[in-house]
Amino acid sequence: MGRLVAVCVALVLMSVKGMAMEFEQFELKNGMDVVVVRDNRVPVVTHSVWYNVGAMDELPGKTGLAHMTEHLMFKGTPRHPAGEMDKLVQRKGGIQNAFTSYDFTAYFQKVPVQELESMMDLESDRMVNLALNDEVFQPERKVVAEERKLTTDSNPQDRFNEKVMRAHYAHHTYGHPIIGWAADIAGYTKDDAVAWYRRHYAPNNATMILVGDVTAEYIRPLAEKYYGKLKPVDVPPRTIDPEPMRSGPLELVAVDAQVKVPSWAVMYRAPSEMAGVAGEKVVAGEATALWVLSEILGGGDTARLYQELVVSKGLADNAYATYDRVRAAEGTFDVMVQPKVGITVDKIGPAVDAVLAKLLKTGVTEAELKKAKTSILADEIYARDDGFTSMYRLGIWLTAGGKVADFDRWQSELRALTVGQVSTVARKYLRADRRTLAVLAGSKAQLGNLRVTE
């Protein structure tokens, strides 16, 4: 049962050189969290509801239900029939959308402040009163099945990526696609969707985030009027079983005649802010250090990978690294390369390994660290100019298990970060025995000396 506690408000001022954000937070008696981020530069507000449920919470045979429910949430309630919400948002001069990920399902509207109350009325209504029957469910299930055909099934890279993720996360639910496996989409029923909705869509399993020209004082009576009257539900706790440690690296090398441009990538097992590799304890600051490392290695055309593979050796058209630090379970540190036309893919691995070997041997430099810090801070400053981006980053943080008070903790970690710390995480996590190699080409000739594994 949700926490039935008295409403409380806490104001936390988060700041870094050149930027500041104000968070006001309170909780309704039914357990629903509300976070308000004030931005009074324009008279608009982004109103969003984030549910602490996503694709990672699905059971075998029922993959895609989180995404399916997102679709169904636009099918109306007895009080607000299908299509009414879209028309109302448009008439009010706003926009709306929704998105499903592994850790969350979220819905938002961006409207003039004076139209916020009507958005709360609509959103709170469909939280508990969604009208679901076979006349609604079956056509939408076919829509989702067609969506999968048009996106994943018709795209050789996406088909291959599904196999890679299933191999990399062999046991964890991050290994199944958010849209769901085709057989599961074809097999689940209206009752499956109703059960999912009733089990997870409740005020005590949701966080409302508002970014715009509003305050908690203004929001609280509206939240109590529309959301506070909803009853909490006995929501099952989220279970996160760690992906077990494996005995060695994985290699997936495939050929698909539909592929025009080969791809080369490696995924290293890495901690997130919330979870260590294979259940290891989270070490404070490591996620921030890996974030910086991704900038130094592959954050742009001046980064090490691009300079070596594209500029110096002429082996690739692009080379970059990415790291997603905010996840409920462990994440990955990824290196991706697009070989230049005429270059066989077997040339890429040794070139990348040489870049990594040099970094692991000599570490990063003070100049690289300073540049990466500046880039990350600049990106955050620009991001906070946009209400949607601020809402989105805060939402993924909270639904992954983070606390509002810790949202900007990375800023102090970033300022204190040293070259030694970045070099240490590089040596700890860029390990050949913990990586998954993924290569997809259009023909065996494009592979060079690499051999197909499937």
What residues act catalytically? Answer: 70
Q: Give the C-alpha separation, 435 to 447, whole Å.
A: 20
Q: Give the C-alpha separation, 370 to 368, whole Å.
A: 6
Residue pair 145/67 in contact by the 8 Å Cβ criterion: no
Provide the b/e sequence for 241-250 (b: ≥16 CB within 10 Å): eebeeeeeeb
Q: Which of 218, 211, 204 is nearest to 36 (CA)?
A: 211
Q: Give the C-alpha separation, 228 to 208, whole Å.
A: 12
Q: How far apart are the first and last CA of the chain?
A: 47
Q: Which residues have CB under 8 Å from 2's CB, separation 6+?
A: 30, 31, 32, 202, 203, 204, 205, 232, 233, 235
> Which residue, chain included where needed, has tokens 């007895």?
78
Structure tokens at 221: 């009576």
Q: Give the C-alpha separation, 405 to 327, whole Å.
A: 17
DSSP 3-state percent helix, strand, coil across the chain (nearest 5): 45, 20, 35
Structure tokens at 42: 């324009």
Q: How many residues does the chain have?
A: 454
Angle in degrees, 0-180, between the axes of helices 216-226 and 116-128, rounded to the nearest 10: 40
Structure tokens at 265: 């990538």
Beta strands in 41-196 (DSSP E): 44-51, 95-100, 105-112
Residue pair 82/74 in contact by the 8 Å Cβ criterion: yes
Provide the b/e sequence for 218-234 (b: ≥16 CB within 10 Å): bbbebbbebbbebebbe
Q: In what order do the strands lie in the sheet with 316-323?
A: 250-255, 435-441, 263-270, 331-339, 316-323
Q: Give the C-alpha separation, 99 to 216, whole Å.
A: 26
Q: Which residues have CB under 8 Å from 147's CB, separation 6+?
A: 179
* Burial (Cβ within 10 Å: 0-12, 13-18, ≥19) of residue 433: exposed
